[in-house]
Structure 1
Amino acid sequence: MRYIDVFNHFFPEKIWEKMMELDDLGYGIGKRMRGIPAIYDLDVRLKMMDEFENYTQVISLGMPPLEAVEPVELSEELARIGNDGMAELVEKYPDYFAGFLASLPMSSKNAAAEAERAFRDLGANGLQIHTNVNGRPLDEEDFLPVFEMAARYNRPIFLHPSRGNEMPDYRSESKSKYEIWWTFGWPYETSAAMARLVFSGILDRLPNLKVLAHHLGAMVPFFEGRVGPGWDQLGKRTSDEDLTPVLQRLKRRPLDYFKDFYADTAVFGSRAATICGLEFYGVDRVLFASDSPFDPEKGPGYIRSTLSILNGLDLPQQDLEKICYKNAQELLGIQ
């Protein structure tokens, strides 16, 4: 079996050095990453990957979203450095890195141009976009050129959740406690972003756009009843505005759009979540991913547990091949 791990994170040397310079200046963007050598030390990363046979990765940057770094000119610089570094790694280490997802300075008017540069000049296999842009929803018109560029080049967008403790869980409080913002907040973030793409009509405007929702589609598979027959009744629970034109404007049921997303297996070693996601999306739209190196072992843990789950599901060989590498080849244009 071949394995292409499509969603995990690494910082090439030059962008890592730049981020550490910014961190030392008080930007506060390197605290967690400094303690995970496999996300910035190439030797550590390659040694860790050697533990797994016939295994390669599609790499993308870790947090924070580049648009969170101000001023905008600095986020643009980080995007260029990061994407150049990713392309260099893929070219130099093809037996380890099968491809990369470009990162964009989404708050910049030049974000779509950087996407095109990454596709045209660097061979990027897709884009990593976070579920909001400094608190702004992805369906705002300012961000449409990025989606149009991805559709034009037939490259997918991978949605990565982004949310911090500054978003409280209760109106009476000023911040989220106990990392609820991550455990439950990130799946909500992804699900909300998916919904905004659906109900805004972007997926109708760009019918060939391909979007992958990280962590097996977040909340959507488990809440199929709410997404399906629940949202078929959109507007019934709302009294301060008329939402009936929203459903009339869409060409299909809301559930049908959510079924069109792709998803990955990065669910932190949960067999139940894996089964739920596969049942909802089907084997043609699920891709193997581990979210390495954020496991307690700082690298191999989630890879090992995810592979163990997939190989223990007793799937037909052809279905397992789709999940483990063939869907990645097709969606990302990997040989």
Structure 2
Amino acid sequence: MTKLDVFAHVLPAELLNKMQQQVPNIVAQNPFVQIPSLTDMAIRHQNFPTDVKQIISNVNLNPEDYFDGPVAAELCYQANDEMLKMVADNNDIFENAVAMVPMNNIDQALEIITKQVAADNKFVGIQLFTRALGKSIADPDFEAVFAKMSELNLPIWLHPVFDARKPDNNITFSWEYELTQAMYQIVKAGYFEKYPNLKIIVHHAGSMVPFFAERIKFTMSEVEYNDFKKFYVDTAILGNPKALELALDFYGKEHILFGTDAPFAKMPNGATSEIVSAIDQMEIDEATRSDIYTDNFKNLLKK
């Protein structure tokens, strides 16, 4: 059985080069981009598990944070083509790509979804972030993207970013709050009711939601509580089988997808072995384990 890692990251080298030309200190501002295996595929292949293939998405280095709408759109187009080439050139370890869209140019974002993502089955969806341009991703300015993805029946990958308004951001806890808050905002916006085909894959096992499920039930409406269950979540919490079981209990066995956040957390290529070990330690039957590793993602793309 090939395990499909739905949340693994790369950094297209040409995208980085083009951004550095205009923003020379961009690496200093974002030290995580210095991880060699984001760009160096020879390192990426080192000790790569033979039974895993990754669905790749760009690290959170977003053109709209540095460039105006037309330039951001051009960079997204080019980076998407570059990621497709990375998949083709490394098809022994990469299965599919998740596209970038410029959130400061919604017209072009919709065009990318139509002309690049929907037109090539090596793209399986788009990646959005918990905030864009200083606003919640559930801000009405971005709603057309959710509507288009629902119309085309394609999933959205939801990745956290820091809220720049907060002085005490940290990698351990802040991103988990940001994911939870973005999920809350998407639910409160009623997107799952307005867009019945909407599919959103949330990083880090759905963050705080499973732990606070009963609080959600008693402080929000029944419809909203059930809408939280419509998210899909990955297993990228660096282990902890009991926490993964809690996520499974809340979201249901069809909504848990194998994801590692590679190559982050453990050098040089991520914590894949730790996450596989945690899934293998979960108190679940083998059919459910197979669903998590492979079948749930395949079925999600068919729905």
Offset of residue 161 of structure 1: 0.6
Which residue is equivalent to 2:263?
A: 293
Q: CA RMSD in A?
A: 2.0
Q: Which moved more, 1:106-115 or 1:87-96?
A: 87-96
> Aligned runs of 1:74-223 on 2, under 5 Å?
74-109=71-106, 110-123=108-121, 124-164=123-163, 166-168=164-166, 175-176=167-168, 180-223=169-212
CA contact (8 A) 2:153 2:198 kept: yes
Offset of residue 32 of structure 1: 2.4
- Structure 1 CA distance for aligned equivalents of residues 259 and 287 of structure 2: 18
Offset of residue 154 of structure 1: 1.2
2:246 aligns with one of 276, 286, 290:
276
* Match status 1:261 vs 2:231: yes
Offset of residue 30 of structure 1: 4.5
* Match status 1:21 vs 2:10: no
- Structure 1 CA distance for aligned equivalents of residues 51 and 42 of structure 2: 18
> Secondary structure at the residue paired with 2:171?
helix
What is the one-letter code of the residue matched to 1:95?
Answer: D
- Structure 2 CA distance for aligned equivalents of residues 193 and 275 of structure 1: 23
Which residue is equivalent to 1:322?
A: 291
**Which entry has the higher C-alpha Rg, 1 or 2?**
1
- Structure 1 CA distance for aligned equivalents of residues 226 and 14 of structure 2: 43
> Secondary structure at the residue paired with 1:263?
strand
Q: Which moved more, 1:55-64 or 1:270-279?
A: 270-279
> Secondary structure at the residue paired with 2:55?
strand
> Secondary structure at the residue paired with 1:167?
coil
Q: % of aligned pairs identical? A: 29
- Structure 1 CA distance for aligned equivalents of residues 284 and 27 of structure 2: 47
Give structure 2 stretches of 5+ with no counterpart. none
Q: Which moved more, 1:63-72 or 1:95-104?
A: 63-72
Offset of residue 125 of structure 1: 0.1
* Match status 1:32 vs 2:32: yes
- Structure 1 CA distance for aligned equivalents of residues 47 and 73 of structure 2: 31
1:313 aligns with one of 282, 295, 298:
282
Give structure 1 stretches of 5+ with no counterpart. 169-174, 233-251
Which residue is equivalent to 2:62?
A: 65
Runs of 4+ in 1 over 4 A off after TM superposition: 25-30
- Structure 2 CA distance for aligned equivalents of residues 26 and 294 of structure 1: 19
TM-score by length of 1: 0.84
Deviations 1:39-75 (A, max 9, x none): 11111112242xx121100000002233212222332
TM-score by length of 2: 0.92
What is the one-letter code of the residue matched to 1:38?
Answer: S
CA contact (8 A) 2:245 2:283 kept: no
Offset of residue 23 of structure 1: 4.2
Offset of residue 149 of structure 1: 1.7
Offset of residue 27 of structure 1: 7.6
